[in-house]
């Protein structure tokens, strides 16, 4: 078990010049001893590269990796005493389950009696005791992944266990079980766990701290709550949540917020108001979960034409087009796709998504509905960064 | 119950016709010859299993068979490990990989009789590089006079010609192993030998099976190279089965015994391939058959 300090950058090619050449931009981060972390981001954002730098499979092209203050940048994975579980289960075909679990210990010359004891414990923990003498190659994908995990757990002195999208090939209902097993192991053994995934549910349920990555950069680090309530970057707003955060382009005019040609009261927080005034143009970020239907005579409500309302089982998702009363500023809806204009409606105008209760059943396409957008959950973004 | 549609037979027909003309009819011709004594094109006598009995009692044939088995065994014992070593030492990617692939594949492009000719000259003690070099070093090497030298020359020639095939097959097999296996082994602290024993070798099982069968069948039917190199000599030292068969069928025109022997030859190959295949299918997975409670 160890605290892991990173201060590194990595480029796969030689002589990186622009940011584009880096798989991992210069990054400084500390994984605390015994923490459960998730690295979350879309494919190709550098999360696996980061993981391999930690495990030692990859040497960062610049910077250092330290475990408990000791520089291990040049050390092999074996010397770092790291365990890693990969996306596809890796098992040794010619061995039984028990031999698979014993393999890392045997390679390190651990006495046979001790090996047997550890293998027994780990098999017990992972419910593999019944199949210990079976050939590992004949088992199902989730059992194989448990063996991969078990090979990490048998060494009780591992510095950290790294997971590289370990549940990708597992059936959904077993995914849930395995994830719970991981949490349980984390609680019992206080291991440092680092979990790479592109699945936000997995990251948010597994980890105490989630590191959201985009294009080789750690965009935000925080608890599930913080990522949801106060995304530090519009990317995080887009990426976390389903559907993602709505971003509405707005302007500051004469002490008012101008949104789609209508005027609204500025935020109560003086500091934020000043920053918005200085910036002139900004974006209003609001989660679909925090959009509520409002009365038409509400001064602070935003009118939008309903495009469709969909029943998603326990809730409704309403998509609405903001009516532009002045021309110019449109509305940027979002569905996790980051583009210049986000998601646009059928006729080319932008959409707003709201997660509503049964009251949405009354909404008819073509009608104008009023949404309350401004409240304490509303975030403001200047140059894609959260205004605090 | 599903209605039975006999039209399906029509779809199988082209294959049946092709196989009939390429395999079944020639084979049946041989079967036909093997039970007759063909005295002249007009006169033939049915002799039953007489040729088979004669062939099985033929001492020369027994010798050829033993030589053949020894040769094929030696070919497999040398070429398979050597091919694996070759594949392991080949670069994995980049221009070097392409260059090495082409160089390694070169010997496979050379026709059999040319290979024989190359080695015939290569091994000559007067002008051949190998022969002259060995003679210069004081070895009494002479493939035309010494039976052991001739046998070894044919073996080395076959190794030179066909090890690259085993190497290329294994190379393809190695490239198909996902990186995660090597990474996991690194994390588990596996030694180089453990990686080979527990990851590479098991993953190569499929291609090795193909390599063993191909090399076994090919070496068991070897004809052209020893024919060009030594003509089966000195004495009978390099007279392998197909050489012996050709002497019988074409040289002495003993069609009946030759046909009977062809069938026996065919059955031997079939039997050995069957045994090899089943043995390799099971190798390494025996423990799987242990019933689980």
Q: Residue A160: closest CA among chain B residues belongs to which residue?
A: B187
- Residue B285: per-residue pLDDT: 58
The verdict on a CB contact (< 8 Å) between A90 and B184 is yes
Cα–Cα distance measured from residue A273 to residue A280, given in angstroms and rounded to the nearest whole number: 11
- Give a three-class secondary structure readout of chain B: CCCCCCCHHHHHHHHHHHHHHHHHHHHHHHHHHHCEEECCCCCEEECCCHHHHHHHHCHHHHHHHHHHHHHHHHHHHHHHHHHHHHHHHCCCCCHHHHHHHHHHHHHHHCCHHHHHHHHHHHCCCCCCHHHHHHHHCCCCCCCCCCHHHHHHHHHHHHHHHHHHHHHHHHHHHHHCCCHHHHHHHHHCCCCHHHHHHHHHHHHCHHHHHHHHHHHHHHHHCCCHHHHHHCCCCCCCCCCCHHHHHHHHHHHCCCHHHHHHHHHHHHHHHHHHHHHHHHHHHHCCCHHHHCCCC
The verdict on a CB contact (< 8 Å) between B184 and A87 is no
Tokens of A371: 């949404």
B184 touches chain A (CB under 8 A): yes
pLDDT average, residue stretch A296-313: 86
- Residue A325: per-residue pLDDT: 57
- Which of A104, A105, A132, A144 best tests the B interface by mutation, with the highest count of B CBs <10 A? A104
pLDDT tens digits, one per residue of A206-217: 888 899 988 888
Q: Chain B: nearest CA to A307, how far in angstroms?
A: 47
The verdict on a CB contact (< 8 Å) between B183 and A148 is no
Q: Is pLDDT above 60 for A330?
A: no
* Chain A environment of B198 (Cβ under 8 Å): 92-95, 103
Tokens of B287: 């423990």
Size of interface A-B (CB pairs under 8 A): 69
Interface of A with B in 104-123 (CB under 8 A): 104, 107-108
- Residue A349: per-residue pLDDT: 52
Q: Which residues contact B128 (CB under 8 A, 6 or more apart)?
A: B121, B122
Of residues A51 and A327, which shows the higher confidence score? A51
A157 touches chain B (CB under 8 A): no
Place of tokens 């000791």: A70
A1 touches A191 (CB < 8 A)? yes
What three-state secondary structure class fits A50? helix
pLDDT average, residue stretch A22-28: 84
Tokens of A257: 């917020």
Of residues A152 and B171, which shows the higher confidence score? B171
A214 touches chain B (CB under 8 A): no
Smallest Cα–Cα separation from A191: which of A142, A154, A145, A144? A154
Place of tokens 């090597």: B182
- Residue B280: per-residue pLDDT: 81
* CATH placement of domain B46-284: 1.10.3720.10
* Chain B environment of A76 (Cβ under 8 Å): 186
Nearest by CB to A77, which of B178, B186, B290? Answer: B186
- Residue A134: per-residue pLDDT: 87
The average confidence (pLDDT) of chain A is: 83
Q: Chain A: nearest CA to B197, how far in angstroms?
A: 9
Of residues B6 and A231, which shows the higher confidence score? A231
Q: Chain B: nearest CA to A84, how far in angstroms?
A: 7
Interface of A with B in 34-73 (CB under 8 A): 52, 55, 57
- Residue B7: per-residue pLDDT: 84
A332 touches A225 (CB < 8 A)? no
Q: What is this structure's pTM?
A: 0.75
Tokens of B162: 């066909």
What are the φ and ψ backbone dihedral angles of A308, each rounded to 5 degrees?
-160, 155
* Chain B environment of A90 (Cβ under 8 Å): 180-181, 183-184
- Which of A12, A92, A196 best tests the B interface by mutation, with the highest count of B CBs <10 A? A92
* Chain A environment of B189 (Cβ under 8 Å): 78, 104, 107-108
- Residue B79: per-residue pLDDT: 94
pLDDT average, residue stretch A289-293: 88
Cα–Cα distance measured from residue A152 to residue A118, given in angstroms and rounded to the nearest whole number: 12
> Which CA distances in Å does A86 have to A195, B179, B185, B202?
10, 10, 12, 20
pLDDT average, residue stretch A288-302: 86
**Fold (topology level) of A242-386:** OB fold (Dihydrolipoamide Acetyltransferase, E2P) (2.40.50)
Split at pLDDT 50, 70, 90, the class of A342 is very low
B291 touches chain A (CB under 8 A): no
User: In a structure prediction context, what are the per-residue pLDDT tens digits for chain B, which is 293 residues long?
Assistant: 667 778 888 889 999 999 999 988 988 888 888 888 877 778 888 888 888 888 888 888 888 888 889 999 999 999 999 999 999 999 888 899 899 999 999 888 988 888 888 888 888 888 888 888 888 888 888 887 888 888 888 899 899 999 999 999 999 999 999 888 998 998 888 889 999 999 999 889 889 988 998 999 889 888 888 888 887 777 777 788 888 888 877 777 778 888 888 888 889 888 988 988 888 887 755 444 444 43
Nearest by CB to B287, which of A82, A135, A151? Answer: A135
Write the burial class of residue A221 (CB in 10 Å: 0-12 exposed, 13-18 middle, 19+ buried). middle
* Chain B environment of A134 (Cβ under 8 Å): 290, 292
H/E element, A372: strand A368-372
A37 touches A29 (CB < 8 A)? no
Q: Is the peptide bond before A243 cis (omega within 30 degrees of 0)?
A: yes
A256 touches chain B (CB under 8 A): no
* Chain A environment of B191 (Cβ under 8 Å): 107
Longest dimension (CA), chain B: 82
What are the φ and ψ backbone dihedral angles of A129, each rounded to 5 degrees?
-55, -40
pLDDT tens digits, one per residue of A116-143: 998 998 888 888 888 888 888 888 888 8
Cα–Cα distance measured from residue A366 to residue A320, given in angstroms and rounded to the nearest whole number: 9
Cα–Cα distance measured from residue A338 to residue B188, given in angstroms and rounded to the nearest whole number: 40
pLDDT tens digits, one per residue of A233-273: 888 888 888 888 988 888 888 888 888 778 888 888 888 88
- Residue A102: per-residue pLDDT: 92
Residue A1, number of CB atoms within 10 A of its CB: 16
Paired strand residues for A352: A320
What are the φ and ψ backbone dihedral angles of A24, each rounded to 5 degrees?
-140, 115
How high is the ipTM of this complex? 0.73
B189 touches B106 (CB < 8 A)? no
- Residue B162: per-residue pLDDT: 92
Q: Chain A: nearest CA to B212, how far in angstroms?
A: 20
* Chain B environment of A93 (Cβ under 8 Å): 198, 202-203, 284
Q: How many CA atoms lie within 13 A of B104 on its CB side?
A: 23
Cα–Cα distance measured from residue A95 to residue A131, given in angstroms and rounded to the nearest whole number: 12
Domain A4-229 has what CATH class? alpha beta
Nearest by CB to B202, which of A87, A94, A131? Answer: A94
Tokens of B86: 């070759």
Paired strand residues for A248: A284
Residue A26, number of CB atoms within 10 A of its CB: 14
Same fold, A4-229 and A242-386: no
Domain ranges of chain A: 4-229, 242-386
Cα–Cα distance measured from residue B263 to residue B269, given in angstroms and rounded to the nearest whole number: 10
pLDDT tens digits, one per residue of A63-92: 888 888 888 888 888 888 888 888 888 899
């Amino acid at each position: 078990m160890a605290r892991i300090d990173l201060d590194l950058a990595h480029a796969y090619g030689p002589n990186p010049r622009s940011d584009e050449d880096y798989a991992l931009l210069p990054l400084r981060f500390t994984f605390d001893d015994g923490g459960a972390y998730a690295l979350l981001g879309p494919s190709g954002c550098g999360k696996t590269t980061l993981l391999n730098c930690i495990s030692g499979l990859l040497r960062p092209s610049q910077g250092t990796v330290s475990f408990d203050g000791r520089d291990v940048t040049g050390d092999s994975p074996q010397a770092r005493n790291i365990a890693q579980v990969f996306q596809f289960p890796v098992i040794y075909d010619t061995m039984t389950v028990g031999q698979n679990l014993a393999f890392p210990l045997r390679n390190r010359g651990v006495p046979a009696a001790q090996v047997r004891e550890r293998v027994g414990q780990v098999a017990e923990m992972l419910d593999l005791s019944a199949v210990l003498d079976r050939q590992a190659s004949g088992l199902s994908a989730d059992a194989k992944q448990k063996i991969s995990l078990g090979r990490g757990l048998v060494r009780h002195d591992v510095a950290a266990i790294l997971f590289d999208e370990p549940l990708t090939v597992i059936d959904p209902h077993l995914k849930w079980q395995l994830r719970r097993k991981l949490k349980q192991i984390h609680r019992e053994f206080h291991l440092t766990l680092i979990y790479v995934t592109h699945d936000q549910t997995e990251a948010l349920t597994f980890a105490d701290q989630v590191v959201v990555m985009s294009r080789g950069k750690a965009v935000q680090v925080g608890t599930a709550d913080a990522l949801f309530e106060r995304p530090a970057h519009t990317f995080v707003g887009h990426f976390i949540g389903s559907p993602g955060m709505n971003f509405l382009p707005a302007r500051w005019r004469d002490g008012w917020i101008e949104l789609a040609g209508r005027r609204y009261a500025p935020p109560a927080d003086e500091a934020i108001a000043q920053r918005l005034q200085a910036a002139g143009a900004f974006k209003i970020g609001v989660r679909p979960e925090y959009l509520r239907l409002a009365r038409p005579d509400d001064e602070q409500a935003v009118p939008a034409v309903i495009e469709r309302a969909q029943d998603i089982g326990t809730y409704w998702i309403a998509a609405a087009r903001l009516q532009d009363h002045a021309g110019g500023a449109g509305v940027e809806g979002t569905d996790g796709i980051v583009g210049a204009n986000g998601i646009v409606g059928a006729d080319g105008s932008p959409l707003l998504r709201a997660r509503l209760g049964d009251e949405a059943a009354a909404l008819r396409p073509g009608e104008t509905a009023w949404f309350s957008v401004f409240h304490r959950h509303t975030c403001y973004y200047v140059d894609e960064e959260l205004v605090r | 119950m599903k209605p039975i549609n006999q039209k399906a037979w029509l779809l199988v027909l082209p294959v049946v016709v092709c196989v009939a003309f390429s395999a079944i009819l020639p084979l049946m011709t041989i079967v036909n010859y093997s039970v007759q004594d063909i005295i002249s094109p007009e006169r033939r006598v049915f002799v039953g299993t007489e040729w088979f009995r004669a062939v099985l009692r033929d001492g020369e044939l027994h010798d050829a068979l033993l030589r053949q088995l020894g040769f094929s065994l030696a070919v497999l014992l040398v070429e398979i490990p050597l091919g694996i070593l070759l594949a392991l030492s080949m670069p994995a990617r980049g221009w070097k990989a392409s260059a090495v692939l082409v160089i390694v594949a070169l010997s496979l492009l050379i026709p059999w009789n040319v290979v024989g000719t190359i080695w015939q000259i290569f091994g000559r003690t007067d002008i051949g590089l190998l022969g002259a070099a060995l003679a210069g070093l004081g070895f009494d090497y002479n493939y035309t006079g010494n039976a052991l030298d001739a046998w070894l020359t044919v073996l080395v020639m076959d190794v030179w010609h066909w090890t690259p095939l085993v190497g290329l097959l294994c190379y393809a097999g190695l490239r198909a192993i996902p990186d995660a296996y090597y990474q996991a082994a690194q994390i588990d602290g596996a030694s180089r030998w453990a990686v080979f024993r527990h990851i590479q070798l098991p993953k190569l099982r499929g291609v090795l099976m193909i390599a063993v069968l191909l090399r076994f069948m090919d070496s068991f039917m070897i004809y052209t190279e020893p024919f060009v190199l030594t003509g089966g000599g000195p004495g009978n030292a390099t007279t392998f089965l197909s050489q012996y068969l050709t002497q019988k069928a074409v040289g002495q025109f003993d069609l009946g015994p030759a046909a009977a022997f062809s069938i026996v030859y065919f059955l031997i190959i079939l039997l050995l391939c069957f045994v090899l295949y089943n043995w390799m299918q099971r190798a390494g997975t025996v423990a799987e058959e242990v019933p689980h409670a």
